[in-house]
Amino acid sequence: METIIVENIYKYYPAATKKERNKALNGISFTVKNGEIFGLIGPDGAGKTSLFHILTTLLLADGGRATVDGFDVVKDYKQIRKRVGYMPGRFSLYQDLTVEENLQFFATAFETTVEKNLDLIHEIYIQLEPFKKRRAGKLSGGMKQKLALCCALIHKPSVLFLDEPTTGVDPVSRKEFWQMLKSLQLQGITTIVSTPYMDEANLCDRIGLLQNGSLLGIDTPENLTRNFGKPLFALKAEQMYPLLLHMRAYDQTATCYGFGDYHHITFIDPHIQQADIRSYLQGVGFTEPVEIRQIAPGIEDCFMDLLNH
Amino acid sequence: MNNKVIQTENLTKTFGDFTAVNTISFDVYEGEIFGFLGANGAGKTTAMRMLSGLSTPSSGKASVAGFDVYRQTESIKKNIGYMSQKFSLYEDLTIRENIELFGGIYGLRGRLLQEKKMALLKNLELEDDQMKLVSSIPLGWKQKLAFSIAILHEPRVVFLDEPTGGVDPITRRKFWDLIYAAAAKGITVFVTTHYMDEAEYCNRVSIMVDGKIEALDSPDRLKITHAAGSMDEVFQQLARRAVRKAD
């Protein structure tokens, strides 16, 4: 069953110059299945927040239609608002209310009580409990994030919208946050989450790669990487920056990017041999030992490949 | 790379009974790309504020570009560049005005400022866009512009506090091209990041946990000593030992 259906959604914003209209969303279509974690991956300005605002009924689209949990985002906005939990990108709880007061406020606004729904947030709330008398504004970043998640869950929503919940958060806290999402999934909650971190894409059931208001690809992480469709090489040497410059200057190189401790390179000729690469490097005077191996692409390789088309 | 541009010895900062930075000692060399990692709340920002002359240490020694962090903070400020994701450029000034404003603040005047401005615009291919308001340009441009402005006066060292958040993977890599080029010119780069692949681009990396530097080495050696396959694993191993949970 499909919990979210998005059909050909457009959104325009007035542009800075009169010549062009800014298309924030350019004919977006996708579905999210019941109980799925769906990731919207893309940089700032790709249109993630506009799409979230449309689906949570905070913004009207300029074209297309969408339903959430079977309800139309325009006609049935009141039903949708009761059923979704939304964690905006910017921390938007009441800074001068305590942890406890924020939870009570959001529970009351949804005509329920904290006690009634404690089981859903219990696992997250026990980490917050020592600070329950502290004002939200005085919490650390990780704790603010946990409180925001609790407030978004306090009315037992069927769909959870998380807009960049892990941006600017360190890798350890990010990992913990994703463990919480996985355990919420076990309780049947459908989650749509946006992130600029490519490594988080692998933790989603399916992902959509968003750039400049268009979806470049929608699939499971496994299928997206399987469809890369050309050999990818990883190169490493002691002098990585000169190696990068030499490989970019190679007339056989199609793309060449730094990738952590290796450079990832695709070539114009799909049948290129390691010996060809080595003899080129020798020829331009790069004589130190170079490790060359063919590797399987990751999500980030795929995203960059799609960006180049 | 034998000239020390940053030297610290038991550098410490306390706030009341809270020790934000706890006796850290390390050196950074000329032209080095030095990654300064740590979980939120580990003490990175406090340490960077001391090294950039904005905060007086509680104890210990440190010098930046040859100047003392207690007595010569004004000289430090003139010899460093600084850029962060949170504060970099004035949104309601044009590209050109931002270059002129910051260039002037960093002490560039007259013909020299004009020459540097033209070179920067050419290098970033922004000649045709120089009259645009910064608020109207894409985030990736802003980041590249902010970095280029931070090194306009050719400082000995540039501090980058999470410079690359929120952009697409290609734009992020283009930003690192600028970092490599600056380091190749001899500018020392001191950078914090939450992207662990970027930690791999650094010559050496330090990892702070609860105010202390718990590891400092090249990415390759850190992976060997921690029996880890990636810098992410190294980071997870060390940062999970953290006791304190504050920002």
Residues A63 and A113 in one domain: yes
Report the C-alpha gap between B25 and B60 in whole angstroms: 9
Can you read off the two tokens belonging to residue B52? 């950039």
Least confident of A110-124, A274-288, B69-83: A110-124
Mean pLDDT, range B103-129, rounded to an integer: 95
- On the question of pLDDT at A170 being above 90, the answer is no
* Residue B96 included in any domain: yes
d(C-alpha A233, C-alpha A224), whole Å: 18
Helical (H) or strand (E) element with A86: strand A84-87
**pLDDT for position B247:** 44
* Average pLDDT across chain A, whole number: 92
A171 contacts B235? CB cut-off 8 A: yes
Structural domain harbouring A62: 2-225
- Of A225, A241, A258, the last residue of a domain is A225
Q: What is the pLDDT of residue B87?
A: 67
Q: Report the alpha-carbon distance of residue A262 to residue A257 in Å, rounded.
A: 9
Question: Which residues are CB-neighbours of B16 under 8 A, at least 6 positions away?
Answer: none
- The CATH code of the domain that includes B122 is 3.40.50.300
- For residues B55, B151, B211, A176, the Cα torsion angle rounded to the nearest 10 degrees is 130
Predicted confidence (pLDDT) per residue in B170-226, tens digit: 888 999 999 999 999 999 999 998 888 899 999 999 999 999 999 999 999 999 999
Question: How far from A28 is each of A46, A75, B1, B14, CA to CA, in Å?
Answer: 12, 20, 51, 52
Residue B247 lies in a domain: no
What pLDDT shows up at residue B92?
Answer: 96
One-letter amino acid for residue A30 of the chain: F
Q: What is the mean pLDDT of residues B93-118?
A: 95
Give me the interface pTM, i.e. the ipTM: 0.81
pLDDT of residue A14: 76
User: In a 3-state reduction of DSSP, which class is residue A7?
Assistant: strand
**How many angstroms separate the Cα of A20 from the Cα of each of A13, B92, B130, B131?**
10, 21, 19, 18
Distance CA B55, CA B21 (A): 12
Interface test with A, best of B36, B168, B214 (most A CBs within 10 A): B168
How many domains, in total, are found in chain B?
1
> Cβ of B168 under 8 Å from any chain A Cβ?
yes
Q: How would residue B41 be classed by pLDDT, with cut points 50, 70 and 90?
A: confident
How many whole angstroms separate alpha carbon A166 and alpha carbon A289?
39
Write out the E strands in A100-230. 159-163, 190-195, 206-211, 214-219
Residues A70 and A54 in one domain: yes
Taking a contact as any Cβ pair under 8 Å apart, which residues of chain B between 134 and 163 contact chain A?
136, 138-140, 162
DSSP-derived secondary structure letter, A98: B
CB contact under 8 A, A260 and B139: no
B39 near A CB under 8 A = yes
Q: Which has the closest alpha carbon to B62: B16, B102, B5?
A: B5
User: Of the given ranges (A179-188, A282-291, B82-91), which has the lowest mean pLDDT?
Assistant: B82-91
Task: Clarify whether residues A165 and A267 are in a common domain.
Answer: no
Whole-number pLDDT of residue A20: 59
Same domain, A206 and A239: no
**Which residues, 6 or more positions from B4, have their beta carbon under 8 angstroms from its beta carbon?**
B27, B28, B29, B30
Candidate from A43, A172, A308 with C-beta closest to B240: A172
What distance in Å separates the CA atoms of residue A210 and residue A307, rounded to the nearest whole number?
Answer: 10
* Closest CB from A170, A199, A241 relative to B39: A170
The set of residues, in sequence order, having a beta carbon less than 8 Å from that of A93 and lying 6+ positions away, is A102, A136, A144, A147, A148, A151
CA B34 distance to own-chain centroid: 9
Beta bridge partners of B67: B64
Is residue B246 one of the residues assigned to a domain?
Answer: no
Q: Specify whether A171 is located in the same domain as A238.
A: no
Which residue range forms the structural domain that includes residue B46?
4-239
Reported as a pLDDT band with limits 50, 70 and 90, residue A36 is very high
Q: What is the DSSP track for A144-166?
A: HHHHHHHHHHTT--SEEEEESTT
With contacts defined as CB-CB under 8 Å, which chain A residues touch B220?
Answer: 261
Residues 246-285 of A with CB under 8 A from B: 257-261
A-chain CB neighbours of B186 within 8 Å are none
Q: Is residue B245 part of a domain?
A: no
| Cα A144 to Cα A99: distance, rounded to the nearest angstrom | 9
DSSP state at residue A81: H
Are B226 and B234 spatial neighbours (Cβ–Cβ below 8 Å)? yes
Do B10 and B212 form a contact (C-beta atoms < 8 A)? no
Tell me the sheet residues that pair with B158: B81, B189
Residue of B166, B194, B220 with shortest CB distance to A171: B194
Helix boundaries (H) for chain B: 44-51, 73-79, 95-105, 110-123, 139-150, 169-184, 196-200, 219-225, 231-239
Cα separation, A205 vs A211, whole angstroms: 20
List, for residues A42-64, the tens digit of each pLDDT value.
Answer: 888 889 999 999 999 999 999 99
Same domain, A62 and A206: yes
**Burial (0-12, 13-18, 19+ Cβ within 10 Å), A1:** exposed
pLDDT digits over B145-176, tens only? 999 999 999 999 999 998 987 788 888 899 99
Question: What CATH number did the domain enclosing A156 receive?
Answer: 3.40.50.300
A73 and A99 fall within a common domain? yes
Q: Are residues A156 and A202 in the same domain?
A: yes
- Of B28, B74, B35, B56, the closest CA to residue B202 belongs to B35
β-pair partners for B133: B94
**Whole-number Å distance between alpha carbons of A149 and A15:** 34
The last residue of one of the domains, among A161, A195, A225, is A225
What torsion do the CA atoms of A152, A154, A156, A161 make, to the nearest 10 degrees? 0
Nearest CA to A206 out of A9, A28, A30 is that of: A30
Main-chain phi, psi angles of A255, to 5 degrees: -135, 150
**Could you read off the pLDDT of A173-219 as tens digits, one per residue?**
888 899 999 999 999 999 999 988 888 999 999 999 999 899 999 99
The CATH number given to whatever domain includes residue A274 is 3.30.70
Instruction: Based on the fold, state whether residues A123 and A176 are members of the same structural domain.
Output: yes
Tell me which residue of B9, B38, B39, B6 sits closest to B24, measured CA to CA. Answer: B9
Q: Which residues, 6+ apart, have CB-to-CB distance to A234 below 8 Å? A: A259, A262, A263, A264, A265, A291, A292, A293, A294, A295
Whole-angstrom distance, CA of residue B31 vs CA of residue B186: 4
Same domain, A117 and A250: no
The tokens describing B56, both together, are: 């007086």
The structural domain count of chain A equals 2
Distance of alpha carbon B209 from alpha carbon B22, whole angstroms: 10
